[in-house]
Amino acid sequence: MTQSPQHLFYPSVFRTMATSGYNSDAAAATAVSPSSAAAAAALANADAEQARLMSERVLLVDVNDSITGSASKVDAHLLSGGLPLHRAFSVFLFDADRRLCLQRRAGTKLTFPGYWTNTCCSHPLAGGAEVDGVGGAAVAAVRKLGHELGITAGGDRGIAVDDLVYMTRVHYRAASGGAGGQQGVGGGTKVDVGDGGEDPTAAAAAAGAVWGEHEIDYVFVATKDVDVVPEPNEVSELAWVGPDRLRAMLNGDGGVAVTPWCRAIAERFVFEWWPKVDDRTTLVSHRDADTIHRFGDC
121 in catalytic set: yes
Residue 254 vs residue 87, higher pLDDT: 87
Which of these is catalytic: 56, 101, 120, 121?
A: 121
> CB neighbours of 238 closer than 8 A, spacing ≥ 6?
101, 102, 103, 104, 149, 228, 230
pLDDT tens for each residue of 43-77: 999 999 999 999 999 999 999 999 999 999 999 99
Catalytic residue among 56, 130, 215, 234: 215
Distances in Å between the Cα of 41 and the Cα atoms of 75, 179, 201, 260 are 12, 19, 19, 26
CATH homologous superfamily of 5-294 equals Nucleoside Triphosphate Pyrophosphohydrolase (3.90.79.10)
Distance CA 212, CA 161 (A): 28
222 CB-side CA count, 13 A: 25
* 139-176: pLDDT as tens digits: 999 999 999 999 999 999 999 999 999 999 999 999 99
Domain locations in the chain as residue ranges: 5-294
